[in-house]
Chain A
Amino acid sequence: MKIYRIHALICAGGQCISAGGNDFEAALRVEIEKHGLEDEVQIVETGCMGACEMGPMMVVYPEGTLYINLQPENAKEIVEEHFLKGRKVQRFMWQKEDGHFPTLNEVPFFALQTKIVLRNCGIINPENIDEYIAYDGYTGLGKAVGEMTPQEVVKEIEDSGLRGRGGAGFPTGLKWKLTAQAQGDQKYVVCNADEGDPGAYMDRSVLEGDPHTLIEGMAIAGYAVGANQGFIYCRAEYPLAIKRLQKAIQQAKMAGLLGKNILGTDFSFQLSIRIGAGAFVCGEETALLSSIEGKRGEPRKKPPYPATSGLFGLPTLINNVETFANIPVIVSKGSSFFNAIGKEGCRGTKVFSLAGHVNTTGLIEVPLGISMKEIIYDIGGGIPGGKVFKGALIGGPSGGVIPSSQLDVPIDYEHLNTLGAIMGSGGLIVMDESSCMVDIAKFFLQFTVDESCGKCTPCREGTRQMYEILDRITQGEGVPGDIEKLESLGKVIQDTSLCGLGQSAPNPVLSSIRWFRDEYLAHIEKKECPAGVCTMKKTTTTKEEPRRGRKKAST
């Protein structure tokens, strides 16, 4: 076997590539060749390392040296000094305020995280199945099919306390049990990889950085519920994720870890990818299943739930990427390992994409029950430019705002609900004093107005009415009573919409009214935007047409 004295791990996640990571890698290869070090240095393209703010980045082992914000012209110096002579190039390294150069594990951004879902992201080469296997990959599947009955696997998941990571937090073990008990000769396992929340990329990082964990999780699910066919529904906007998944499926088939008679047992499992054409509503499970069937991606009434009547009317287990990524660890290490992380009722970790006004943006994985304060100040490094924290929007366009007075509240499904927010899939946008809450609410509502599929009236018409009121308010044309109107409309939309998209669409508006009512009042009564974001017109002018120039709803 080949020995490389240096393993140079270059982040090949979406962000680092957009920031020019490929150019640096190409330059590095040229320099390595020039100095005849091909046999001594192994370049490994990994998935997202998480600290996207610092990209393009590279970690050099055995010491774990962390190079950040790399440009192609830096390659020469790194090869000549570090790779050839062992002298680290400090000016490209991540430096703490005290002048100390920490290794990867000492940077607070990484040190304070607990990684289960992202355990391999940024550590292994996602296109090499051997590296996944080296980090205990497929031992969960091996243990399940070789040493456990399907009922025991379901029991293990139930005992772990894992809840669905797609947003609603339904107990995963229960869902598996219901699907396993459903009557039917043919069953399916479906993975929801249609991640559409603006600014959220948790699932993409798993798909790009560790595709085999999803394949393993789905195969275990297939064994547990009695399905021999799986589908991954991934959005077309994730070309790199799809490419790596295809490659991973191919490798798993070659290795006999997918296909007929897995690991020499009677269990067989096929897996294929379906590519979504970019409708946000297809992230809703019933709409997603319609889309796989080749129909228009529209949600339908529940019940019946997919567990009894899902894909093609047959029993179907549907979970999202992050949920499946937890499964191999739970099976191989046991439910008690998983159960020790997090808190009562909310076991395990959650991945968040930390964005907005925070010093270190990126992808983080933390135990459930951690406070927002720890995420923003300890891991994220606080608010830049000495500004003051105002609120954090958690849960994407269907989420709610958490104000500074609630920063100590633990992040779990129940507490977030009482605050009017949701866990959602894990988008977390931090806002400082320069953000206008009315404007933010309007921004996210516009997203749902655009993405509403139009099947049910409350969502199609109601969100548009709310948007128009907000639009008036932000232009200085708000009238007394607007706030109450928004509240009652929002309540009706939440109560009567057909699917989760509509039911959660008013959340950003309602929660921002709850915590920042004064700001709404300032817009309406004083015709002032306290943050100075909205351009308030004193005189009445023509209204701005919402995006895409769609036909206006009847008034």
Chain B
Amino acid sequence: MAKISSLEELRKIRNDAKESMKTRSGNAKVRVFASMGTVGIAGGAREALKAMIDELEKRNFHDVEIVEGGSMGLDKEEPIIRIERDGFETTYGKVTPDMARQIVAQHIINGQMISEWVIARNEK
């Protein structure tokens, strides 16, 4: 670590470090839920999720919590990813890695849902 030469610099380092530990705080701005049942995984859920994390890293967005869970029962739409942001739960179906990257850019970071891929949306 380079020398910290002032209190302001220390505060800046603290804020950056805090971001990277957001996952442990339980109060991230966006929550991503990925369905990881057998069907989901077979349908490419892992690839979609990996692409999503990669895109979040590229765009340096850390205010997010990623949770996996079992199948929702809606096998036809797998892989399914649900985004919880601003009090709404938005569910996307048949998510490919490319779609996952766009969801990061538009919905997770900027709060603009991509209507054509949404299969369900409700208030939380």
Across-interface contacts of A86 in B (CB, < 8 A): 34, 36, 67-70
- Cross-chain contact A62 with B23 (CB below 8 angstroms): yes
Residue of A nearest to B33 (CB): A86
In the assembled complex, 27 residue pairs joining A and B whose CB atoms fall closer than 8 Å, in A order, are A1-B60, A1-B62, A3-B64, A5-B68, A9-B24, A39-B50, A40-B50, A40-B53, A62-B24, A62-B65, A63-B67, A84-B36, A85-B41, A85-B70, A86-B34, A130-B1, A130-B17, A133-B17, A134-B20, A137-B14, A143-B7, A254-B3, A255-B1, A255-B2, A255-B3, A263-B4, A264-B5
Give the one of B2, B11, B17 with max A CB within 10 A.
Answer: B17
4 pairs of A and B residues whose beta carbons are closest in the complex = A86-B68, A134-B17, A5-B66, A256-B3
Residues 43-74 of B contacting A (Cβ, < 8 Å): 49-50, 53, 56-57, 60, 62, 64-70
B120 at the interface (CB under 8 A from A): no
Residue of B nearest to A145 (CB): B7
Known A5-B53, A62-B28, A85-B68: A139·B14 in contact at CB below 8 Å: yes
> A134 to B12, alpha carbons, bound, how many Å?
10
B7 partner, pick from A4, A134, A142, beta carbons under 8 A: A142
- Cross-chain contact B57 with A2 (CB below 8 angstroms): yes
Residue of A nearest to B71 (CB): A85
A130 partner, pick from B11, B13, B28, B69, beta carbons under 8 A: B13
B6 at the interface (CB under 8 A from A): yes
A131 at the interface (CB under 8 A from B): yes
- Cross-chain contact B10 with A263 (CB below 8 angstroms): yes
The 8 A CB mask of B68-86 against A (1 = contact, 0 = none) is 1110000000000000000
A339 at the interface (CB under 8 A from B): no
- Cross-chain contact A39 with B24 (CB below 8 angstroms): no
> A123 to B23, alpha carbons, bound, how many Å?
12
Tell me the minimal C-beta distance from A266 to chain B in angstroms.
13
- Cross-chain contact A139 with B26 (CB below 8 angstroms): no
- Cross-chain contact A85 with B36 (CB below 8 angstroms): yes
Residue of B nearest to A103 (CB): B26
B23 partner, pick from A5, A129, A133, beta carbons under 8 A: A5
Tell me the minimal C-beta distance from B77 to chain A in angstroms.
17
A62 partner, pick from B14, B66, B69, beta carbons under 8 A: B66
Tell me the minimal C-beta distance from A238 to chain B in angstroms.
26
> A131 to B1, alpha carbons, bound, how many Å?
13
- Cross-chain contact A3 with B53 (CB below 8 angstroms): yes
> A40 to B68, alpha carbons, bound, how many Å?
12
> A117 to B60, alpha carbons, bound, how many Å?
33
Size category, A interface: 35 or more
Across-interface contacts of B21 in A (CB, < 8 A): 7, 131, 134
B121 at the interface (CB under 8 A from A): no
Across-interface contacts of A130 in B (CB, < 8 A): 1, 13, 17, 20
A61 at the interface (CB under 8 A from B): yes
> A64 to B50, alpha carbons, bound, how many Å?
22
Residues of A within 8 A of B (CB): 1-7, 9, 39-40, 61-64, 84-87, 123, 129-131, 133-139, 142-143, 146-147, 251, 254-257, 263-264
Residue of A nearest to B24 (CB): A61
Tell me the minimal C-beta distance from B12 to chain A in angstroms.
10
Across-interface contacts of B5 in A (CB, < 8 A): 256, 263-264
Tell me the minimal C-beta distance from B13 to chain A in angstroms.
6
- Cross-chain contact B1 with A3 (CB below 8 angstroms): no
Known A134-B14, A254-B3: A3·B57 in contact at CB below 8 Å: yes
> A146 to B5, alpha carbons, bound, how many Å?
11
> A5 to B4, alpha carbons, bound, how many Å?
29
B16 at the interface (CB under 8 A from A): yes
- Cross-chain contact B10 with A138 (CB below 8 angstroms): yes
B29 at the interface (CB under 8 A from A): no
> A64 to B41, alpha carbons, bound, how many Å?
24
Tell me the minimal C-beta distance from B105 to chain A in angstroms.
15
> A230 to B28, alpha carbons, bound, how many Å?
40
> A129 to B3, alpha carbons, bound, how many Å?
13
- Cross-chain contact B13 with A256 (CB below 8 angstroms): no
Residue of B nearest to A105 (CB): B26
Tell me the minimal C-beta distance from B54 to chain A in angstroms.
9
> A137 to B56, alpha carbons, bound, how many Å?
27
Across-interface contacts of B57 in A (CB, < 8 A): 1-3
Across-interface contacts of B64 in A (CB, < 8 A): 3
> A545 to B41, alpha carbons, bound, how many Å?
70
> A64 to B67, alpha carbons, bound, how many Å?
11
Across-interface contacts of A61 in B (CB, < 8 A): 23-24, 26
Across-interface contacts of B20 in A (CB, < 8 A): 1-3, 130, 134
- Cross-chain contact A254 with B34 (CB below 8 angstroms): no
Tell me the minimal C-beta distance from A24 to chain B in angstroms.
20
Additional A-B contacts beyond A3-B62, A256-B3 (9; CB < 8 A): A2-B57, A3-B53, A6-B66, A7-B21, A7-B24, A86-B34, A129-B1, A139-B11, A256-B5
> A129 to B37, alpha carbons, bound, how many Å?
38
> A7 to B4, alpha carbons, bound, how many Å?
27
Across-interface contacts of B62 in A (CB, < 8 A): 1, 3
> A9 to B25, alpha carbons, bound, how many Å?
13
B89 at the interface (CB under 8 A from A): no
Across-interface contacts of B13 in A (CB, < 8 A): 130, 133
> A256 to B10, alpha carbons, bound, how many Å?
10
- Cross-chain contact B24 with A123 (CB below 8 angstroms): yes
Known A138-B10, A139-B11: A257·B4 in contact at CB below 8 Å: yes
Residue of B nearest to A264 (CB): B5
Residue of A nearest to B57 (CB): A3
Across-interface contacts of A263 in B (CB, < 8 A): 4-7, 10
> A7 to B22, alpha carbons, bound, how many Å?
10
Residue of B nearest to A87 (CB): B70
Residue of B nearest to A59 (CB): B24
Give the one of B7, B18, B28, B37 with max A CB within 10 A.
Answer: B7
> A84 to B1, alpha carbons, bound, how many Å?
34
Tell me the minimal C-beta distance from B121 to chain A in angstroms.
22
- Cross-chain contact A255 with B17 (CB below 8 angstroms): no
Tell me the minimal C-beta distance from A125 to chain B in angstroms.
10
Tell me the minimal C-beta distance from A135 to chain B in angstroms.
8
